[in-house]
Structure formats: C-alpha cells, structure tokens
Amino acid sequence: MKFRFHRLTTSTCDECWRDKPWTHWKAFGAHNLYSIGGNVPTRQKYVRPPSDAAGFEILWCPAGGARPGVFVLGTTEDDIQKHYLNLYKMGEGPLYCFYRPFHLCHIEVPSTIARAVLLSDATVAPQGAPTVEVISTAKIDLEAGQTLDGLGCYTLYGQCENALTARAERLLPFGVAEGCKVKRNIARDEVLTYDDVELPKGRLIDKLRVEQDALFSA
C-alpha cells in the first residue's frame, strides 16, 4: 500500500500521469538486478505528456529479492557514456541499474525534516495539481452498513488512477475512506466511489479535501 503513495508522490512531483494499468509481470531480485538489460520487468508505466518518452515505470521486486534496497533504471544515447558504463560493469544497456542495497528510514526521515526546517530545502515538491490519486478498492466482499478500516487493514487496498479520471468518476480517495460506512454491497476488487459510502460528520480530512479539490479545479 505504501508503494501506491510512493507512486502518487513521484507522479505529482514529476508531472507524470498513469499511462496504462498493470501490463507486464516479471519477478526479479538482487541476483539479476544488474543484468535485466532491455528486458524491463514493467508493471505500470507513467508518462509526462505530450511525449511518452519522459517519465518512469514501476517495477516489482519479490520478497527476499532486492528489498529493502532502492534503485533506479537509467538510459543514455551518448556512446562515450555507454562505453564507460559497460567498462564499469553496468552492462551493455540500453537500461542501466543504479542500486543501493539499503533504505534507512530512521535516518532519512529526520534528515528530510531537518532539511525542510533548517534549510527550506524540499526533498520533493509538487509541480502543481495532483496528477495521480490512490483510490479505494474492496479487499473483500463488503456489506451495506460495514465500516471501512484504514491503511494496511482488512477491507480496502489502494490502486493508482489519474487524478482527472478519479475526479470525473468520483472515485473515493484512499485517505478519505477510513471510517466511512458502506451504503451497498460491494464485490471484492470493485473500486469505491463517493456515492458508495457515507462520510462521518465533522471530519477535518473531508474539509481539507474539499478545499484541495476547489483549489485545483479552478
């Protein structure tokens, strides 16, 4: 679930949109992370219109593979760079994997906060309106009158959808869903909308969501 919010943040900060649903599944891990070459284990693609040449693609690592490391895949058209990347054991391309085998949240989060407070330096910052939303999807068959739980619990999971689509279809944002009461029976894997739930009264999150939607729809 956290992975979905990572995608949302990256998409909005890089002004990318979801190009298509999950398209290809190929498991891989640290043992072949540097040798994937042109065989991209893509699951979902995000692009920056009007050209789909810019953007990023979401990859999947199985448990026990590259986790909890962090990596990016890069490419280049420069023949000199290609030569030296191959010389320094990065492979023949066209994709080159830059892998860091650790992700130390207990160090990185405080340093990110310190940068923001002391240096006014944002690690990432949105370029404008949200481009991607994490929307609420039924993890189990839901019954009318059932109250939805929250992140990492039993009733919902999140999926990424383009913000314009989510707004047009009134899809229920994942962050809003907790505590809502379901109005009708909903099948497993069905996406929820605002019309499917009753929002608790007087919540700050609903007020802030209305303000956000008004700000970016203007």
Say if 164 falls within a structural domain: yes
The domain boundary residue, chosen from 106, 122, 149: 106
Both 10 and 55 in a single domain?
Answer: yes
User: What would the mean pLDDT of 100-113 be, rounded to a whole number?
Assistant: 86
- What local confidence, expressed as pLDDT, does residue 114 receive? 94
> Same domain for 211 and 149?
yes
Mark which of 72, 106, 140 sits at the end of a domain: 106
Kindly report whether the peptide bond that precedes residue 50 is cis, defined as omega within 30 degrees of 0: yes
The distance from CA 97 to its chain's CA centroid, rounded to whole angstroms, is 20
| Domains: count for the chain | 2
Q: Which residue has the tokens 């109250």?
A: 147
Residue 175, domain member (yes or no): yes
In this structure, the answer to whether residues 176 and 89 fall within a common structural domain is no
User: Do 98 and 166 have their domain in common?
Assistant: no
> What's the whole-number mean pLDDT along residues 201-216?
94
Q: Rounded to whole angstroms, how far apart are CA atoms 62 and 26?
A: 10
Q: Determine, yes or no, domain membership for 113.
A: no
Q: Is 11 within a domain?
A: yes
Q: What b-and-e string marks burial along 193-218, b requiring 16 or more CB atoms within 10 Å of the CB?
A: eeebbebeeeeeeeeeeeeeeeeeee
Please count the CA atoms within 13 angstroms of the CA of 65 that sit on its side-chain side.
17
| Residue 119, in any domain of the structure | no
Q: For residues 182 and 197, is the Cβ–Cβ distance under 8 A?
A: yes
Domain span at residue 206 reads: 132-217
The number of angstroms, rounded, from the C-alpha of 13 to the middle of its chain's C-alpha atoms is 11
Of the residues 49, 71, 106, the one at which a domain ends: 106
CATH number at residue 204: 3.90.1210.10
Listed range (11-20, 134-143, 164-173) with the worst mean pLDDT: 11-20
122 found inside a domain: no
pLDDT at 104 over 90: no
> Poorest-confidence range of 74-83, 97-106, 164-173?
97-106
156 φ, ψ to 5°?
A: -135, 155
What predicted TM-score, i.e. pTM, was given to this entire model?
0.65
Please compute the mean of the pLDDT values over residues 197-215 and round it to a whole number. Answer: 95
C-alpha 218: how far from chain center: 25
